[in-house]
């Protein structure tokens, strides 16, 4: 079994606890308007690397001392498009005593995906918008699978961090922020929420790829509005970072 890997990052500091080896898998069924990595979308592209789980682990082990207090995060694209590969890789990491995290939009809900959730130490679940209509407009996909994934994580009490991008004109709306916070607050599996300010640094990549960047007129989120969102989530009883 070979994993289609878009790229590797050996010293990630923003995708889970501690310093992490981050694996970006190729392929994504979503089309988020603010996506920074449209070059990961096509699942048929082989990506930069084509590696077996054992080969990928060997690469990770080269950095074992650096990531001792962190671990490995698999991101994308959407890693759940390659669930069998994830199962095998996470099991090898566990045998080597390496903490594992999965960064996913939860766009795929299936039996094998549930097994992946059972096998990983931490899930970073990207909730793009809690409003079903807006979610579809923002990502091109329905929110149902993401919510199903969240329900499963709750049922199994799997450690989960929520990631939510605040986009001016979209998710940066007090009522919607409160609705999102109120929706998430009762979930015991949610250890914390990471609120990420929208910025337009991905726009250049679209230019290079000859693609249209559809949020071209959207300004970056201001510090004040980020602080406002943080307060709304904190007031709902959530731990925010
Ligand atoms: S889920 Fe991630 S990789 Fe996929 S389109 Fe959205 S931002 Fe891009």
Please write the tens of the pLDDT for every residue from 41-95: 998 876 689 999 999 999 999 999 999 999 999 999 999 999 999 999 999 999 9
Q: Please, are residues 67 and 74 in contact by the beta-carbon 8 Å criterion?
A: no
Is residue 229 lining ligand 1, measured as CB closer than 6 Å? no
Mutate to test the pocket of ligand 1, among 40, 81, 143, 215 (most ligand atoms within 8 A of CB): 40
Check pocket membership of 48 for ligand 1, CB cut-off 6 A.
no
**Predicted confidence (pLDDT) per residue in 135-173, tens digit:** 999 999 999 999 999 999 999 999 999 999 999 999 999
Residue 118 has which token pair?
A: 């059972």
Q: How distant, in Å, are the alpha carbons of 68, 167, 217 from that of 33?
A: 35, 10, 12
Please tell me if the CB atom of residue 40 comes closer than 6 angstroms to any atom of ligand 1. Answer: yes
State phi, psi for 146 to the nearest 5 degrees.
-60, -45
Comparing CA positions, the residue from 109, 184, 113, 119 lying closest to residue 154 is: 184
Ligand 1 centroid distance, CA of 65 (Å): 31
With 90 as the cut, is the pLDDT of residue 200 above it?
no
Segment 91-126, tens digit of pLDDT: 999 999 999 999 999 999 999 999 999 999 999 999
SS3 annotation, 109-141: CCHHHHHHHHHCCEEEEECCCCCHHHHHHHHCC
Encode pLDDT of 24-33 as tens digits: 999 999 999 9
Q: Tell me the mean pLDDT in the region 196-225.
A: 93
C-beta of 146 in contact with ligand 1 (< 6 A): no
Distance 145 CA to ligand 1 centre (A): 15
CB of residue 37 inside a 6 A radius of ligand 1: yes
Q: Which residue minimizes the CA distance to atom 6 of ligand 1?
A: 32
- Nearest-atom number in ligand 1 for the CA of 30 is 5
CA distance linking residue 19 with residue 21, whole number of Å = 7
SS3 76: coil
Interatomic CA distance for residues 229 and 130, integer angstroms? 14
pLDDT value, residue 47: 65
pLDDT, residue 46, reads 65
Binding site membership of 140 for ligand 1 (Cβ less than 6 Å): no
From the CA of 28, give the closest atom in ligand 1: 4
Specify whether the CB–CB gap between 197 and 163 falls below 8 A: no
Tell me, using a 6 A CB cutoff, whether residue 106 lines ligand 1: no
Place of tokens 């082990």: 61
Report the mean per-residue pLDDT for the chain.
96
Q: Is 30 in the pocket of ligand 1 (CB under 6 A)?
A: yes
pLDDT band, residue 2 (cuts 50/70/90): very high
Residue pair 31/139 in contact by the 8 Å Cβ criterion: yes
> 182-187, long-range: CB within 8 Å, 24+ apart, which pairs?
182/236, 183/130, 184/127, 184/233, 184/236, 184/238, 185/236, 185/237, 185/238, 187/150, 187/153, 187/154, 187/160
Token pair in block for residue 80 = 């759940």
Distance CA(148)–CA(140), nearest Å, equals 18
Q: Does residue 26 line the site of ligand 1, with CB under 6 A?
A: no
On whether the 3-235 domain is CATH 3.20.20.70, my answer is yes
Strand duo 160-166 + 190-197: pairing: parallel
Verify whether ligand 1 is closer than 6 Å to residue 145 (CB atom): no
Q: Is 165 exposed, middle or buried (0-12, 13-18, 19+ CB in 10 A)?
A: buried
């Amino acid at each position: 079994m070979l994993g289609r890997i878009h790229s590797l990052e050996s010293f990630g500091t923003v995708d889970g606890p501690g310093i992490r080896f981050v694996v970006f898998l190729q392929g994504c069924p979503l089309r988020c308007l603010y996506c920074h990595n449209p070059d990961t979308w096509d699942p048929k592209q082989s990506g930069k690397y084509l590696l077996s789980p054992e080969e990928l682990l060997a690469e990770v082990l080269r950095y074992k001392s650096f990531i001792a207090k962190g671990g490995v995060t698999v991101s994308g694209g959407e890693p759940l498009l390659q669930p069998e590969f994830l199962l095998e890789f996470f099991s090898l990491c566990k045998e080597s005593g390496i903490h594992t995290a999965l960064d996913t939009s939860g766009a795929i809900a299936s039996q094998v995906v549930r097994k992946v959730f059972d096998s990983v130490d931490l899930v970073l679940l990207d909730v793009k918008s809690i409003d079903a209509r807006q979610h579809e407009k923002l990502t091109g996909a329905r929110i149902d699978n993401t919510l199903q994934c969240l329900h499963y994580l709750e049922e199994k009490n799997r450690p989960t961090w929520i990631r939510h991008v605040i986009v001016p004109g979209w998710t940066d709306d007090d009522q919607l922020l409160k609705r999102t916070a109120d929706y998430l607050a009762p979930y015991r599996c949610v250890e914390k929420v990471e609120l990420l300010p929208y910025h337009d640094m991905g726009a250049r990549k679209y230019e290079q790829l000859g693609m249209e960047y559809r949020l071209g007129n959207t300004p970056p989120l201001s510090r004040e509005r980020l602080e406002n969102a943080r307060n709304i989530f904190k007031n709902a009883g959530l731990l925010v970072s």
